[in-house]
Structure 1
Amino acid sequence: MTRLGAGLLVFCAVVMTAFSGPALGQAFREPAKGSAERAAILDTLRPAVEAEMSGPVEFVVTVIRASPNWAFVQAEPLRPGGGVIDQEETGFAGDADVMDGLTVYGLMSFQSGRWNLIDHMVGPTDVGYAGWQQRYGVPPAILGLE
């Protein structure tokens, strides 16, 4: 093998290493608090959650990840102003023994110039959203499952 060939091989190996591994697995961003993107993502999730919570909600976001095509949210719903939601006054009345609180998980897709709700769940007792990777083709890094 010539020096040029060996040098080219080393260069290719360095380039491939630089563009693989964790860097590709982390192809998402956290939309900043107060940003229009973050508001649009949460506003996409809000109507479904408000219907289940029997009233208006605001979110305390635990996790929010977005890529150009997907967004994933984990949040605690509260009443406007920070009031705690009584589960017995929601669509989940009587379900406290089969739920793990009111934590909300949501998956949105960016299509036709806007965010669209694909799926969501409230209070699962396991990692119920793990199936979204196969069901919807969402990258595992968005879900935190890399």
Structure 2
Amino acid sequence: MSFRRSLVVAALASLWLASGSLAQPFREPAKGSTERAAILDAIRPAVEAEMRGPVEFVVTTMRAAPNWAFMQVEPQRPGGGSIELSQTGLRDEADMMDGLTVFALVSFQNGRWNLVDHVVGPTDVAYAGWPLRYGVPAALLGLEQ
């Protein structure tokens, strides 16, 4: 193969890789599935501690890969009751928060989903550093690379 042809092949391969053709497939675990419940249960104790009581989640976004899951959820009291920020452990941070939206990252290790990190009510993209910090694919978080 000529040098020039090698350069063309290398350039095309680079474009193909950059286009996301090899992007890892993500899925949304089905509502009511055991996997979805296990992912949500991984974040529940931390969120319940912050909310000072039981919660259920309204899922806005949930993307899962074989060993990672990322979610954006809205916590509420069981049965759909709203959570009053002033009654939570976050009440002193209310001035720096944008609601109670939770962004969370969990990993699948040792046969179960485990909380890696989460943030409640950020006013910016607080999880933007997670790919570098934890090695999670940026695309799972909905971040451009």
TM-score bin (small chain): 0.7 to 0.9
Give the superposition deviation at 1:94: 3.2
Q: Which runs of 5+ in 2 are unaligned?
A: none
Instruction: Provide the secondary structure at the position in 2 that maps to 1:37.
Output: helix
Within 2, Cα distance between the matches of 1:35 and 1:29?
13
- Corresponding residue pairs, total: 136
* Residue 126 (structure 1) aligned to one of 120, 124, 127: 124
TM-fit CA distance, 1:96: 1.9
Distance 2:91 2:18 in 1: 47
1: CA distance between counterparts of 2:139 and 2:37? 21
Q: Secondary structure at the match of 2:130?
A: helix
Q: What secondary structure is seen at the aligned counterpart in 2 of 1:94?
A: helix
Partner in structure 1 of residue 63 of structure 2: 65
Report what 1:117 is aligned to: 115
- C-alpha distance in 1 between matches for 2:22 and 2:91: 42
TM-score by length of 2: 0.85
- Name the Cα RMSD after superposition: 2.1
Residues of 1 paired with 2:88 and 2:45: CA distance?
14
Q: Do residues 100 (structure 1) and 98 (structure 2) align?
A: yes
Runs of 4 or more consecutive aligned structure 1 residues displaced over 2 Å after TM superposition: 19-26
Structure 1 residue 84: deviation in Å? 0.5
- The 3-state SS of whatever aligns with 1:51 is helix
Residue aligned with 1:125, SS: coil
Matched, 1:140 2:138: yes
**What's the % identity of the aligned pairs?**
68
Query: TM-score w.r.t. structure 1 length?
Result: 0.85
Counterparts of 1:145 and 1:26, CA distance in 2: 14
SS at match of 1:95: helix
